[in-house]
Amino acid sequence: MRVLYDVSRLLSRAERTAPTGVDRVCLAYAEWLDQRSDVVMIPVRGRKGRLVMVDQTWFRDFVRSLRARWDGRTVNGAARHEARLLAALTHDQRPAESVICPPPADHKPARDKPRVLRQFFRSRHAAPLPAADLYLNVGHTTLHEADALQALEQDGVDRVVMIHDLIPITHPEFCRPGDADKHRARVVHTLRHASSILVNSRHTADQLAAFAAREGLTPPPVHVAHLGIETAFAPGDAVRASRPYFIHVGTIEARKNLAQLLTLWRRLEEEMGERTPSLVLVGRYGWENEAVLDHLQRSPNLQGVVHQAENLSDGALVRLMRGARAVLAPSAVEGFDLPAVEACAMGAPLIASDIPPHRELTPQARLIDPLDGLGWLDAIRRATLDEASKPAAAFAPPRWDDHFAVVAGAVGLGGSSPLAAHGEGE
């Protein structure tokens, strides 16, 4: 099978030293397609409403280098910040200041222009696309315009698209201005022109069905395939901190409910003083996060207690998650919430919001309504004071092999070949 794999999102992540959840999915698909003997992967990207080829040999090298960087097998510029964070968590006494990254307005990393130019010139702009059986898009890119999907449909190429969530449509107040219209266009074009749709949870499937009904559209076949967990997220070595700490993993944005979490941490600090547990927010600054930045930068009660880090390798991230008193996932809305599932996969205690994706994917976690501030405060307080080690609830993490078995069936491939194990660099 000749597969046009849309790599637009992966190419846009060329300079990142750590992935988001959607980035992980895009990379996993690239590796899965590349190692199948019954697939010819043809990487393509969107350009001015159409698809153009990306050099296949260059792209394979790019995927390998991206995996090495995200696993932590290549050194990145975050090592110094990572060392400061670990020193703050393992010190006997509360640090005078928090360890945080500069906010977005002050932090503009220099772009690697040669790398960007290589991406550009490795695309064959003028050459027509080769004959193909399938177009696969799992990154939401290229879909805001219908031209590429329509052209593929006219050429008789099957079109399989993954929808990760409908949050910009259902909860636009949590997203950047304009994202609602852009994402609505993506979903409408997918419903109209895709041969089949992949979704990451039953909740996302339900949201998609409700949206299609409101729009008067009949969706193509929809396949639910829970995302896989990479092998680095398993029980193992952990950070040994002198004082209890909690961790949240994910982009710092409004829907993550972090402003409320930091308000609760201020209350904890007022009650517990020097015995206050630390909180680590691992993730890039996103959007609609002014309240979080105000807490991090201006609250004296949170200085030396709440820390923030980004661009951590998987090796550093999993050690931090394993050593935490609990992983916190207080989101108001999610499509899948990969970090929450990863926490359960490694046996870390999880306190999560009582929302449909968490009930579907992490039912053994302690689930609390995201609006129940006092309930969250009590759970964090209890976890802080309870030093007894409790065995983690039994959890069978979703596997990429199972995910790709569903995908193989959806696109008409034979049995799914095993996905190569990751996490060697941990």
Q: Is 395 in contact with 364 (CB distance < 8 Å)?
A: yes
The Cα 284–Cα 182 span in angstroms is 22
**40-47 and 50-54 strand pairing:** antiparallel
Helical axes 258-272 vs 290-298, angle rounded to 10°: 30
For residue 343, give the H/E element and its range: helix 338-345
The SS3 call for residue 243 is coil
275: DSSP letter = G
Q: How far is CA 105 from CA 200, 240, 287, 293, 304, in A?
A: 33, 34, 12, 11, 23
Strand order of the β-sheet with 196-199 is 123-124, 50-54, 40-47, 2-6, 134-137, 158-163, 196-199, 222-224
Q: What pLDDT shows up at residue 419? A: 38
Instruction: Show pLDDT as tens, one digit a residue, over the chain (426 residues).
Output: 999 999 999 999 887 878 889 999 999 999 999 999 999 999 999 988 789 999 999 999 999 999 988 887 665 556 777 888 988 998 888 988 898 887 765 444 444 444 544 555 455 555 678 999 999 999 999 999 999 999 999 999 999 999 999 999 999 999 989 999 999 999 999 999 999 999 999 999 999 999 999 999 999 999 999 999 988 898 889 999 888 999 999 999 999 999 999 999 999 999 999 999 999 999 988 877 888 888 988 999 999 999 999 888 888 899 999 999 999 999 999 999 999 999 999 999 999 999 999 999 999 899 999 999 999 999 999 999 886 555 566 788 899 999 999 999 988 887 544 333 333 332
pLDDT at 118: 53
Beta pairing, strands 306-309 & 326-329:
unpaired
Structure token digits, residue 39: 């697939």
The identity of residue 247, as a single letter, is: I
Residue at 254: amino acid letter: A
Going along 82-215, which residue ranges are E strands?
123-124, 134-137, 158-163, 196-199
Determine the pLDDT at residue 17: 79
Query: Measured in whole angstroms, how far is the alpha carbon of residue 33 from the centre of its chain?
Result: 20
Burial of 321 per CB tally in 10 Å (0-12, 13-18, 19+): buried
The CA angle 38-140-254, to the nearest 5 degrees, is 140
* pLDDT for 71: 83
Q: pTM for the whole thing?
A: 0.88
Beta bridge partners of 3: 41, 134
User: What is the C-alpha separation between 324 and 339, in angstroms, rounded?
Assistant: 14
Q: Quick one: pLDDT at residue 420?
A: 36
Domains of the chain: 2-70+111-228+399-411 (3.40.50), 80-108+232-385 (3.40.50.2000)
Residue 166: both structure tokens together? 């409908």
CA dist list (Å): 310 to 219, 280, 365: 38, 10, 25
Confidence at residue 379, expressed as pLDDT on a 0 to 100 scale: 96
Task: Give the integer Cα–Cα distance in Å for 364 and 349.
Answer: 9
Distance separating alpha carbons of residues 291 and 289, to the nearest angstrom = 6
Predicted confidence at residue 424, as pLDDT, reads 30
Q: What confidence score (pLDDT) does residue 423 get?
A: 33
Q: Which of 14, 115, 17 is nearest to 71 (CA)?
A: 17
